[in-house]
Amino acid sequence: MKIVVYPKKGAYRLNFFQNQKTIATGIVELTRTGRGVRPKTFRYKPVGKRQLKPTPPRELIGKLRHGDVLLTGKDKGFESFLEDLQIPWRYIRVCRMCILEDKITPLPKDVAVKYGPESICMDCAIRELRREAGYLGGFGSSSLGHLEKLLELYHDLDRVLGMVQPADPRSSQTLFDRIEAKSTMKTQKITELGLPKKLVKASGVEYLMPVQQRCVDGGLLQGTDMLVMAATASGKTFIGEMAGINNILKNRGKVLFLVPLVALANQKYRRFTEKYSSFLKVSLRTGVSRLNMAETKVHAERGIRADIIVGTYEGVDHMLRSGKRLDGIGTVVIDEVQMLEDPERGHRVDGLITRLKEVAPQAQYLYLSATIGAPSLLAKKLAASVVEYDERPVPLERHLVFTERKEKIPLIKRLVLDQWQHTSEKGYKGQTIVFTNARARCHAVADKLGSRAEPYHAGLTAKERHSVEKRFENGSIAAVITTAALAAGVDFPASQVIFDSLAMGIEWLTVQDFKQMQGRAGRPDFHAEGKVVVLAEPGGSYSRESKITEEEVAINLLQGEMFEVAPVYEEEESSEEFAANAVVCKGDIKALELMNSRMVGEMADVTRILERGGYIKRRGDFYELSPYTGVMARHFIGVERLELIRRLMKKAKDPLEIVTELDCWEEEEGK
């Protein structure tokens, strides 16, 4: 028989086990006598009896003498009692909660779970975890599964519960992981590279950053095409500048620097103008705004004869789709090339790259991204060498907090103000980017944070956005509250990133989106480390059709792996790109087939559909293109949407009716 002794408020609880089954329990109080420590009272209850009954202490002594006495911890009182009676004992670590349920569960060091001042077994810890999580409600099975995995990893129930009910939303309890900065490789001085003196002087760079050095070693300055994958703030933009301006000054052609967003193009234009306008001409091509208002327009040089042309994908692609040519291009930089995976724009980025290679085959192509799955596969499709550098220049702490939606803004305010109180070793105040899913939410959060926070999204005028950028840059505001749609956009040197939501509109973020956004935290020229805080609502969702909830999405994103970049092609996307490529090569069938074969994604064969609809007619080695083919190319639409417009034009007199019908069709297609 085993007898487990456990202290209990001035007394001792005893559990009597036979073959791992409880056969009785007891409570004993000790007192010191002239003969030593002896039992003062002893109450005993066999299994099946309702109450503990007073029992002569000599019966206890008899049981102890014939049993295997196990102490759950050092206790001088009970040890003296056993020593006086010459009763042997040994120590054992057991789960207190199991003892209360009349079970004995030994706790070796590798299985014990810390819970307050004591240790319990994993089964009891999981039960307590589920009970506490149940108070908050909404946890899905994968979320609970993740918490249980963390419990098995940390063996600390308090730490895991801290994610559910954190006293401090950025404490060790909520820490999901820490991505350490690696020791940096030795790099060259920029003066050692043989670059033109004008570039060296204007660059403001003394030593190359590691990924820049890898690119130089890989042939960047000799014209090698490259896919560069490196963390945010690792110096990718200057890779494009260094190669491009070197090519300009060595008479190899001008630079085309393409980005996905107007806000980012505006920022690049301003920065390149400030750095290089003393000896180079910089222009901006962002397409034509539907609302041509003075307050939305950035004052900039717009010509295509400039040395450096900064543009959006669509802004430059529209020129190509309209039959215009770009001559004298020596360097093409495609920034944020992971946009190839975007469901709506991916095929257009794919087509743009192909069309550029048709009009500027001699140019050096540089593809930049912080987040690409299977980069080697993409590099092969792009006929480029791959340069990977996944080491962050500063460490990154990632915290996961489970909280109700109504608690998110108070937590955000607390985190923002706390970060604002800290100044880095380099003299910069802690600033925060808060990502949320909608413009209205941007304003709601910013209003609650007060004058130290500003909303920032595509709905603001260019002047308003520029004002926010300058205020953040000079350190006069603590936070910007922005939409996830601007994740790949403007460069805000923040020390902290907070996710108020994990969606773009009603669609969950992808792993690529998330990694791009979290990478905004911690910039080497400003901060010693970055912090990411994910606020996830158990059971929360932004769409009734979603089968997973926000806390499950959070775990998937934090743990997730990126997949191969693969643009999506169906009949609509394929016909749009076919038409655009046909316009660029002027219907030359061999050239068109070659262009289509170079696409990263696999286009559907739409030749018969377009021939049947009269959009193309074969005339020897060329396709004769219908005017409607040009419409598809210039207006970024495919054959399905075009034919719908043509049908609507026959019966609708008011253009507004056509727009309304198109919106309804697009909504149905998106479901």
φ, ψ at 508 (rounded to 5°) = -65, 150
Query: Stretch 221-248: mean pLDDT, rounded?
Result: 93
What is the pLDDT at residue 137?
Answer: 63
19-46 tens-digit pLDDT: 878 899 999 999 988 888 899 999 999 9
Distance between CA atoms of residues 155 and 135, nearest Å: 22
What is the pLDDT at residue 36?
Answer: 86
Across 69-83, 185-199, 519-533, 554-568, least confident range: 554-568
Q: Which residue has the higher pLDDT, 342 or 576?
A: 576
Half-sphere exposure of 114 (CA within 13 A, CB side): 12
Which of these, 253, 232, 235, 231, lies nearest to 244 by C-alpha position?
253
Q: Which residue has the higher pLDDT, 565 or 353?
A: 353
pLDDT at 162 over 80: no
Same fold? 190-389, 396-559: yes
- What band does 663 get if pLDDT is binned at 50, 70 and 90? low
For 423, the token pair is 């100044």
Domain residue spans in the chain? 2-100, 118-163, 190-389, 396-559, 571-670
Query: Stretch 462-466: mean pLDDT, rounded?
Result: 85
| Rg of the chain on CA atoms, in Å | 34
What is the pLDDT at residue 656?
Answer: 65
Which of these, 73, 122, 75, 134, lies nearest to 98 by C-alpha position?
122
What is the pLDDT at residue 670?
Answer: 44
Using the 8-state DSSP alphabet, how is residue 189 labeled? B
What is the pLDDT at residue 671?
Answer: 40
What is the pLDDT at residue 234?
Answer: 82
Query: Stretch 79-83: mean pLDDT, rounded?
Result: 91
CATH classification number, 190-389, choose in 1.10.645.10, 3.40.50.150, 3.40.50.300, 3.30.70.580: 3.40.50.300
* Residue whose tokens read 């069709």: 665
Contacts 24+ apart (CB under 8 A), 143-151: 143/402, 143/538, 143/549, 143/551, 143/552, 143/555, 146/555, 151/113, 151/122, 151/125, 151/126
Mean pLDDT value across the chain = 87
pLDDT at 490 over 80: no
Domain at 396-559, CATH class = alpha beta
Query: Stretch 164-183: mean pLDDT, rounded?
Result: 77
The answer, as to whether pTM is greater than 0.85, is no
417-436 tens-digit pLDDT: 999 999 888 888 999 999 99
Across 100-104, 154-158, 440-444, 628-632, least confident range: 100-104
Query: Stretch 326-346: mean pLDDT, rounded?
Result: 92
What is the pLDDT at residue 668?
Answer: 46
